[in-house]
Amino acid sequence: MLTDIQLKRLKPQEKIYKVTDRDGLYVAVSPTGTRSFRYGYRINGRRETLTIGQYGADGISLAEAREQLIAAKKLIKSGVSPAVKKRDGKNQIRNAETFANFTVSYMKRASLADSTRSMKQAVIDRDIIPFLGNK
């Protein structure tokens, strides 16, 4: 079973290597020194790998990775692949309509006088899009 001290002491090597924790959780250490929590499992006769997250100050802790592992195991028991669910969530966010796209389509559809349209468009371009553009 891994500890935080052991995780901090893991050094990069020429090739990626794995250090096991428990319950199927392991840490993959890349040649650049990135430590990623992963979980290998089988569902519907297929082997899949869930990357839980990166370890470190800007990533997740060992305790958080273990909590996410428990949640992933619950999904597997119910017949849902956690890796597919995570991928679908990312695709949903990626395909979501941004505020900038919404305002463009709104301004095309709206029945406004030319002066009103240009005034609103100026406010949107100057004040709103720089703040909310791709959100």
Dist CA 135 CA 99 (whole Å): 6
Fold of 4-79: Double Stranded RNA Binding Domain (3.30.160)
104 CB-contact burial (10 Å; exposed 0-12 / middle 13-18 / buried 19+)? middle
State the 10-residue block means of pLDDT for the chain, 135 residues long.
Answer: 90 95 93 95 89 90 94 90 78 69 85 90 87 70
Residue in 36, 1, 50, 41 with CA at minimum distance from that of residue 21: 1
Q: Are 40 and 60 in contact (CB under 8 A)?
A: no
- The CA-CA-CA angle for residues 13, 6, 76, to 5°, reads 90
Model pTM score: 0.65
